[in-house]
A = this chain, B = another copy of it.
């Protein structure tokens, strides 16, 4: 019988084709015109699970986009793992910055370019092909359940109700997820922590119509000016968020963890060079690797108002809008933070404008103990594929559902992710390395060999 590497080499082209089929479906959850694509993507995954010999697979309704559930029953197995992924992807705007069509995958210089090539369709396919490989080689010793949702990029709103409703169906020993990044190909890592998220849309209304800035400017509050003042007040000059109570539940970083963070290979200079910035910027008293993963942050994700076209229109606009977000850390309550921010903005807004703050989605942070048997198996599997033992790190990103899984299903999650920073997820020209994809499949197959 072939070994894992040989099986993968023999089937690699087909693995890519199976990924392309999924990537070609533009399943953008944030844009309602892609509703039908969500269903198509779900059906594609259901059919694919069945083709792999998963005995039960179906597209199940949820309050929002459909959820794919599969159940592979291994004779004699006593443990069950639950594999989670998401088939929805981020919007692709601005389209003009893409070098190839976002939904027509193309390999250039050893990388697959497409929206979803990594996040999360590429990583879902690593899980499926790792399972296929392990199964073909007789290495699977556990039952495997699969759950793929279509709302991760908009907050996984329907997944928690689904989990509550189908607790028995989803019963397992541990959850396995590939939706995170590694430090680098040379320094593989497994994510042991995630940040939470709160997100708001703010609408500031000044006068009831756009005004001539000459006839009214100076006497009537401009909603853009006022929105900017509000945003500017949310972070102080030490990089601290000023919302009262915001840091109350944040746990201080231990000296031990701060020491470990300083062991991760990281060059501030290379980081700045890669992003073409002169210097980083953040909360006083913390280094970049702490700021982007262990500490909360505040970012304006979008802003708009007034005239954005060519030339110089002199207008005092009626409306201004912004999309605001905070990354939270474990132990912060995202619903409480959503409320605190809303109250704070309403309080600091001047009486001369009307402000409407709409909390959108959110999720709690997460932390995984490193002595968990599934974590240990994942670490050894990654070491086998990469030749180096992975570091345990915290990620600055959010997968709100990971905290929800813990709360609802009582299960810990192992975040066995294979992304790299250069994959540019959420950006134009998202891509995924063919070599990383291959190693990912190998690591997942090894995980099955080791965990049973």
Contacts and interface: CB of A to CB of B under 8 A. Distances in A.
A224 to B, nearest CB: 4
Nearest to A28: B311
Contacts of A413: none
A311 B30 contact: yes
A183 to B, nearest CB: 12
Contact of A307 (B29, B91, B208, B354): B91
- Residue of A208, A300, A305 most packed against chain B (CB within 10 A): A300
B313 A306 contact: no
A213 B301 contact: yes
A31 B310 contact: yes
A280 B220 contact: yes
Contacts of A85: none
A309 B31 contact: yes
Given A225-B299, A323-B307, A424-B209, A396 B216 contact: yes
Interface string A266-287: 0000000001111111110000
Contact of A207 (B232, B276, B317, B396): B276
B212 A425 contact: yes
Contact of A30 (B222, B309, B320): B309
Nearest to A321: B308
Contacts of A298: 217, 225
Interface string A339-367: 00000000000111110000011000000
A410 to B, nearest CB: 25
A90 interface: yes
Contacts of A216: 275, 292, 396
A265 interface: no
Contacts of A372: none
A424 B209 CA distance: 9
Interface residues of A, number: 101
Contacts of A425: 212
Contacts of A396: 214-219
Contacts of A296: 218
A398 interface: yes
Nearest to A200: B312
A231 interface: yes
Contacts of A227: 228, 303
B306 A300 contact: yes
Contacts of A289: 219
B276 A314 contact: no
B207 A277 contact: yes
A336 B409 CA distance: 66
A315 B361 contact: no
A311 B301 CA distance: 11
Nearest to A297: B218
Nearest to A154: B311
A401 B229 CA distance: 34
A426 B321 CA distance: 21
Given A307-B301, A427-B211, A221 B312 contact: no
A337 B311 CA distance: 19
- Residue of A277, A289, A424 most packed against chain B (CB within 10 A): A277
Interface of A: 29-32, 90-91, 93, 97, 153-155, 181, 195, 197, 199, 201, 206-222, 224-225, 227-229, 231-233, 235, 275-283, 288-289, 291-292, 295-317, 320-323, 325, 327, 350-354, 360-361, 395-398, 421, 424-428
11 contacts: A154-B311, A210-B427, A211-B427, A215-B397, A217-B298, A217-B396, A220-B280, A221-B281, A224-B303, A304-B308, A311-B360
